[in-house]
Amino acid sequence: MILSTDYIFLTDEKEGFRICRETRTTSTTTMTILYVEKGYMDVYFHEKMLRINAGDMFVRIPDPNHKLGPYELSEDLEFKQITVGAEIFEKIMFDHLRVEPNWYAKQEYVKEHPIFPLNPVSKEFFLVYFKLLTLQLEDRPTQYRLQILNMIARGGTMEMLNYLDKLAVIPKLGKGRLSVNQSDYTFLEFTRLLHQYPHEREVQWYAEKLKITPKYLSEICKARSGKSASEWIAEVTVAELRHLLRDTTMPIREIARVMEFPNASFFCQYTKKHTGLTPNHFRKEKKA
């Protein structure tokens, strides 16, 4: 079975894994959750060959330094794979940053430890989410499909993070700080500010809040994520704009006001530059 849209790829076939490996997982903006039910899979990942055995889950979180390389599949391999694209992962990431204070630490842990065994209950949870996605992709498309897929994917991701909490392997927040170094803490505080103030679009503003220079803030962001502070700001701003245009009926002028653009004309220019569409065209296309 291979089911695919522009923003999600589902498979339980070796050919599907090959197709996804060559067309989707080369992107730094996709997330993959893969569960091996039987056999094994050898994958070159993060400069080393990893073996994913039966009962193991493999999670690849988007990162420019963590790409899938050569692989080998056992003859008796049975697996299920969910790969989500930028639009869905972006929604998951930004929603989690709002409600999950330890989200950044969990992402960093999963990047370095992408394989972990599932207990029977967590396995059943994964299979349920896989089945829900399968049913939705096999059903006739409706105007609500993307939102439903977002919710299912988000629920599955949260269940994975909940399982990690049960394993007690993630560094916890202490008195306002992570048990990591100062630059990690600064980056975490920056991402928190981004989602508290998505209308602020100047690196200088965030640097002043963090009491560091704009140059140093960008250096930290680049080292931790591969993206500069200005790229992060644009990404969060565009995600907020997409949400307001796609998921609300708020008038364009009101969105421009809420996001503190100087006027509706400047807002339209900004939206077209970052999405390729004017606000009206973006809204109409998403409803089509």
Domain boundaries, the chain: 2-167, 182-287
Q: Can you list the alpha helix ranges (DSSP code H) found in 168-260?
A: 182-196, 203-210, 214-225, 229-247, 252-258
Q: What are the pLDDT digits (tens) for 245-280?
A: 877 888 888 888 888 898 888 888 888 888 888 888
- Among 36-50, 64-78, 95-109, 171-185, where is mean pLDDT lowest? 171-185
Helices 279-287 and 229-247: crossing angle in degrees, nearest 10, is 60
Using CA atoms, how far apart are residues 97 and 65, in angstroms rounded to an integer? 22
Using CA atoms, how far apart are residues 41 and 53, in angstroms rounded to an integer? 7
Helices 182-196 and 214-225: crossing angle in degrees, nearest 10, is 100
Dihedral sign computed on CA atoms, order 127, 131, 137, 142: negative
Using CA atoms, how far apart are residues 220 and 214, in angstroms rounded to an integer? 10
> What confidence tier does 180 reach under pLDDT thresholds 50, 70, 90?
very low
The reply to whether the predicted model has a pTM over 0.85 is no
Inter-CA distances, 199 with 194, 236, 255, Å:
9, 9, 10
Looking at domain 2-167, which of 2.60.40, 1.10.10, 1.10.287, 2.60.120 is its CATH number? 2.60.120
Across the chain, what does the average pLDDT equal?
A: 79
Higher pLDDT, 39 or 108: 39
At residue 85, does pLDDT exceed 70?
A: yes
Looking at domain 182-287, which of 3.40.50.970, 1.10.10.60, 2.60.120.10, 1.10.1840.10 is its CATH number? 1.10.10.60
